[in-house]
Structures are given as structure tokens and as C-alpha cells.
Amino acid sequence: MTAEQALNLWRLATVEGVRCETPDLSSRQMAVLLTVYQTPAPHTVRGLARTLGISKPAITRALDRLGKYGLLVREVDTADRRSVLVQRTEEGEAFLNAHADMVIDAMDKALAPGVLDNTSMPDLEHVA
């Protein structure tokens, strides 16, 4: 897959995402959400900042928004009250499952004959 093809696949998946009635997350918010759901717990603000290579305040802002949408929750660590654990929610799991389905649908569309070849790249508006 070329860079152009990869970007088109990303575009198709993104277009599907913005058409849905789901929260419109930033790339940073999605990175935090995916990290919590796809890597082993426990997750802390400090650990997420280190893993993603961004500041703790940036993680906190992302968690504020994700919490507002019910996609993650923060709870005080009972073993260390100075630490806050980031926990998954049923809403977050449903959100990511819906997004996974959108990516699969975009891939199916992208795999249609001629869609990902370089000669048809400008004509993708009819696919999305």
C-alpha cells in the first residue's frame, strides 16, 4: 500500500466517522482512548503521558472530554490515593466497536476494484 492509498483509506474511515451521531474526537483523544482499551491496565495519567509522549495536562484535557462523553472514567487508586486510575466504560467499548466497524466498512469500500489504484484516486467521492 502506498502512502496515498493509506491516506485515502484513512479518509474513507474518517468520513464515515463524521457522518455518525457519535462524539467527534480529536486525534489525541482517540489515541488516549485506544491506548486505554488496547493495552494492559492499569492506566494512570502519568503512565498515559509517558506512553503517548505528551504532557500530563494534555492527557488531563483529553480525559476531561472523554469523561464528558462517558467513554472513560477516572477513579482514585485505593492502593495509592495520590494516583488516579483511568478505567474503561461500556459506552467506550461500544464507541470503539462502532469505529472498528466503520474502518472495516471503509476497507471493504477501498478494496472495490480500482478504488485504491493510483489512476482512480481523484474519483473517490462516489465511494465515501
Mean pLDDT of 78-85: 89
- What pLDDT, on the 0 to 100 scale, is given for residue 66? 98
For residue 28, tell me if it sits in a domain.
Answer: yes
CATH number for position 87: 1.10.10.10
Q: What is the DSSP string of 82-122?
A: T-EEEEE-HHHHHHHHHHHHHHHHHHHHHTSTTSSSGGGGG
- What pLDDT, on the 0 to 100 scale, is given for residue 70? 97
pTM for the predicted model, two decimal places: 0.81
For residue 127, tell me if it sits in a domain.
Answer: no
For residue 63, tell me if it sits in a domain.
Answer: yes
For residue 73, tell me if it sits in a domain.
Answer: yes
Q: Number of folded domains in the chain?
A: 1
Mean pLDDT of 74-88: 91
For residue 56, tell me if it sits in a domain.
Answer: yes
Nearest to 86 by CA among 77, 74, 76: 74
Over the stretch 2-18, which tens digit does the pLDDT of each residue have?
A: 888 888 888 888 888 88
User: How far apart (Å, rounded) are the C-alpha atoms in residues 18 and 35?
Assistant: 21
For residue 16, tell me if it sits in a domain.
Answer: yes
Identity (one letter) of the amino acid at 95?
F
User: How far apart (Å, rounded) are the C-alpha atoms in residues 90 and 78?
Assistant: 22
- What pLDDT, on the 0 to 100 scale, is given for residue 119? 42
For residue 76, tell me if it sits in a domain.
Answer: yes
Q: Which residue range is the domain that position 99 belongs to? A: 3-116
Over the stretch 25-57, which tens digit does the pLDDT of each residue have?
A: 999 999 999 999 999 999 999 999 999 999 999
